[in-house]
Structure 1
Amino acid sequence: MSTTAQPSATAAGTGPERHEQGQQRARRPKLVLAVLLVAQFMLAVDFSILNVALPAIGDGLGFSLADLQWIATAFALSAAGFTLFFGRIGDLVGRKRIFIGSLALLGLSSLVGGLAVSPGVLLAARVAQGLATAAATPAGLSLLTTSFAEGPLRQRALGINGALMSAGFTTGAVLGGVLTDLLSWRWAFFVNVPVALAVVLVAPSVIKESRPAVRPRLDLPGALTVTLGLLGLVYGLTQAGEFGWTHPHALLGLGAGAVFLAAFFLVERKVSAPLVPLRTLRRPTVAWGNVAGLLAFVTETSLVYLLTLYLQKTLGFSPLEAGITFGVLGLGTVAGGLAAPRVIARTSTLTALVAGGLVQAVFTAALLLLGTTAGGSLALLLPATFFGGVGNMLVIVGFMVTATSGLPDAEQGLATGLAAMSQQVGITLGTPVMSAVVTASTAGAATASAVHHGVTVALAVNAALVLLGVVLAALFLRDRRAPGTSRQA
């Protein structure tokens, strides 16, 4: 009796335990997704939150007008230049460890930046923020892609991630204006501290460690040459945007960047364990997917810069009013990010890339009709930025899915590192490139009509770059349904 009763008692006892374990397993992906998305959103906010606050920071700490741009450039150089390097470091020491450590560094450097009393301390904090972003972005994307198998779940996660990332960039512009106007520019730094602290405390118990089964060796020559190449490229472009394409600093930076990147490809052909295996770069999904992503980030983030100029210099909006106007663009990117996984599931990643690019190009071109008075211009600008944001987010999610699909987990650190590099470099390049176009078109004039003309020319260039991405995707990417989506078509 007792021997027969024992199994039934055990089964009865384990039923609730199994149910609870099942609930925990169901909750874990949601918790992982929540932690990673909060961190990625904060990183996106951090990239743009200081743009509106720059004049106030200059007044508060005694930055000269010529040196003010270094507040943005110091962050951009380290964020874009070290992304690929830290993506590989995450493969070596563990992506979870790098992710948590970089968020801790971001929180600490934000606290130092908010408390800074001299330009040197603030610039050091910005460099540390950029390094933290360069480490956290690829690590977070790797954890996201390795936590969800290829197919609908990963696409949905990448869609939400893309929506929040782009919305975070827009939110940063709005939040920077609100905090600077109502409190102080220092709160543009302080706002990161509690969020980073919360992620650092929660992440260790929620996220599982992720690293390749076989630990790769670090390709130091490759890491050094690609980092120096990206630093030179980003520095040259920021100087070109500030002083023109013929300025010696711009030419020196661009030339040095080209030389180091050429050296990087030579190194990768010869070393036994390359930082970026050329066979991976030869994959059309990796190579052309990242080109499409780069152009998507170049065009949409620089559009914010162009419309900021237009709203403030032509229509006379305050920084706060201009920032609030971009809330419509933020809503468009959220809508696009939520719609993108469904579009991919019902069609293909290529369809999302091409259709999204065409929508973005059409509504960017519509902005060429903006006038010099607020009434009619806002009636065009608001819907155009909304639908342009929807199209841009279709491209970004399509790029993320394309560039990280069909690869083993051992290469996810590399794939997400390349995708994060495309993101960071694209965000960094967009503003100086469009600034250079505006500067050349206005010939140094700063009147409302001159700025309007310069912005219009730059908008035409912006729309042309979007169309270039569409053409490249259509020519070089196969029309393939993302893995796991055929059942839902």
Structure 2
Amino acid sequence: MSSPPTRHWLALALLAMTQFVLVVDTAIVIIAAPSMESGVGFTPESLPWVTNAYALAFGGLLLLGGRAGDILGRRRMFIVGLALFAVGSLAGALAGSPLWLIVARVVQGVGAATVSPAALALVMTLFTGQKERNKALGIWGAVAAAGAATGYVLGGLLTEWFGWQAVFWVNLPIVAVVVLLAPRLLPEAKDASQRTFDLAGAVTVTGGVSLTVYALFNAQTAGWGTVQTLGLFAAAAVLLAAFVVIEARSSHPLISLRIFRIASLRNGNGLTLLTQGAIMPMFFLLTLYVQLVLGFTPLQAGLAQMPAALCFTLLGTHAGNLVSRIGYRIPATAGSLIAAAGLFWLAQVGVGGNYFADVLGALTITSIGATLSVVALMIAATAEAPADSAGLASGLVNVTQQLGGAIGLAALSSVAAAATARSTGRGSDSLTSLTDGVGAALLVGAGLAVATGLLSAVLLRKARRTTTETAAPASAPVENEGAVAGR
């Protein structure tokens, strides 16, 4: 099979840059949030909704967004989603009240939920050979992961130099460039066999996932054992159970349950949930430690995350190539265990710590392992999906990434809070108590990474070359509307 033309790699760069912006958007707003509290009029209780509103819309609508791309056209939905994201960014930059800003973040989240699965599905459409696809997915996964770390740096720079509005203004020129280039570089691809939406399935799964994410955020303030929190989780479980029943009976399901017969997709998504839960909270916990304990400014705290961004960026392609040569299992297993070792080292931080002695090396090791694990699991979760379900597979892995990060952050934040309270009860000062809490949470993260590594060794196997290099089944043809270079 001939190598993909240069135009395909340019298209990949365009798609990866878009995903980078979507991921960065969460981190830069976290850094800018304290300035928004005074600038817009948020209370400390309402301020978290600046980030929660985006995550709620993004995570809740990803499956619907992915299926919309399959049916209506992935390039079309990619552009529509970018337009929504730009509208939300403009509204956020001009916001003069908390409600206005929260609504703007919801619009951004809806746009992101439409763009992200369409972009990943287009990557899978452009690169059909196993080796090239794994390399492309490696680049994609590395860029997305780097965005999580780089966002803190960009957020600090933009907020400190230009004010909090800059974290929204910066999106507009990038989106404008991508929208102009998309029709020239991206193919239009969709599933020609389906023309209707499964409305009941869309409502139940969106409601179930959204309630789950909301319950996770709400539990941190309302308490995990309260009637409110348990009621939200119960309602989410009922909606998700109803969704499974609807999909099993629907003639045109939003998610064909048969897709879960693909072992690599099923196991890749489950393990992605775990690894995201272990890794993503680290960035938040380290930000607390270096700012509140080591005395870093927001900008310095962002720069402290740069080793992670560099590891993800420089190693992502190599991780994809490694998966092409030896399969999913070894990179996912080794990567998770390496990340666990780094997290265990980070968990030893102390009040009298030093960034270069106690953080830099451990963060680098964690990031190297996380790159291997994240890329291998993303490839496992998507590479063997049939071409007509590329958008669905992309939506699924995006959902597990979002939910994994949200669940992990909620759970590890609770661990940190409990450990901090215990340390305070023993008579420790505030900084010691905070450090004890951060260390306890990172130690739990290390345990999750170990579990991911062990399960990867048992559940994953080498990819089947025939699946990724064959066309879509005849019963579900894929249309490619518009010229694609090299075809």
Give the TM-score normalised by the residue count of structure 2. 0.91
Cα 1:210–1:480, aligned 2, differ >3 Å: closer, same or farther?
A: closer
Partner of 1:404: 382
CA offsets, 1:325-369, max 9 Å, x none? 001111122233132023213311111111111111111111122
Residue type of the partner of 1:165? A
Bigger radius of gyration: 1
State which of 458, 462, 474 in structure 2 corresponds to 1:475: 458
Instruction: Work out the number of aligned pairs and report it.
Output: 463
Residue type of the partner of 1:139? A
State which of 402, 415, 431 in structure 2 corresponds to 1:437: 415
Aligned equivalents of 1:177, 1:218: Cα separation in 2: 42
SS in 2 for 1:215: coil
Residue type of the partner of 2:350? G
Residue type of the partner of 1:403? A
Segment drifting more, 61-70 vs 396-405: 396-405
State which of 269, 285, 289 in structure 1 corresponds to 2:248: 269
Q: Residue 29 in 1 paired to residue 8 in 2?
A: yes
Q: Is contact 2:66–2:391 with CA below 8 Å preserved after alignment?
A: yes
Aligned equivalents of 2:325, 2:127: Cα separation in 1: 20
State which of 359, 380, 390 in structure 2 corresponds to 1:381: 359
Matches within 5 A, 1:204-243: 204-243=183-222
State which of 77, 85, 102 in structure 2 corresponds to 1:98: 77
Partner of 2:474: none
Aligned equivalents of 1:282, 1:350: Cα separation in 2: 19
| Coordinate RMSD, CA, aligned | 2.0
Segment drifting more, 298-307 vs 238-247: 238-247
Q: Is contact 1:77–1:231 with CA below 8 Å preserved after alignment?
A: yes
Cα 1:247–1:193, aligned 2, differ >3 Å: closer, same or farther?
A: farther
Matches within 5 A, 1:56-455: 56-375=35-354, 377-443=355-421, 447-455=430-438
Aligned equivalents of 1:26, 1:34: Cα separation in 2: 13
SS in 2 for 1:50: helix
CA deviation after TM superposition for structure 1 residue 466, in Å: 1.2
For structure 2, the residue ranges without an aligned partner over 5 or more in a row are 470-487
Aligned equivalents of 1:421, 1:458: Cα separation in 2: 23
SS in 2 for 1:210: strand
Give the TM-score normalised by the residue count of structure 1. 0.90
SS in 2 for 1:82: helix
Partner of 2:478: none
Residue type of the partner of 1:456? G
CA deviation after TM superposition for structure 1 residue 485, in Å: 11
CA deviation after TM superposition for structure 1 residue 284, in Å: 1.6
Q: Is contact 2:71–2:190 with CA below 8 Å preserved after alignment?
A: yes
Aligned equivalents of 1:466, 1:248: Cα separation in 2: 31
Residue type of the partner of 2:379? V
Cα 1:150–1:255, aligned 2, differ >3 Å: closer, same or farther?
A: farther
SS in 2 for 1:281: helix
Aligned equivalents of 1:310, 1:249: Cα separation in 2: 31
Q: Is contact 2:326–2:462 with CA below 8 Å preserved after alignment?
A: no
CA offsets, 1:84-143, max 9 Å, x none? 011111111101000011111111211110111111111110000111111111000000
Percentage identity across paired residues of the two chains: 38
Q: Residue 456 in 1 paired to residue 435 in 2?
A: no
CA offsets, 1:3-61, max 9 Å, x none? xxxxxxxxxxxxxxxxxxx99x8331122112111111111111211111111101001
Aligned equivalents of 1:90, 1:230: Cα separation in 2: 19
Partner of 2:29: 50
Aligned equivalents of 2:133, 2:463: Cα separation in 1: 16
Q: Is contact 2:384–2:467 with CA below 8 Å preserved after alignment?
A: no
Residue type of the partner of 2:438? V
Residue type of the partner of 2:123? L
Residue type of the partner of 1:455? V
Segment drifting more, 246-255 vs 42-51: 246-255
Segment drifting more, 401-410 vs 129-138: 401-410
For structure 1, the residue ranges without an aligned partner over 5 or more in a row are 1-21
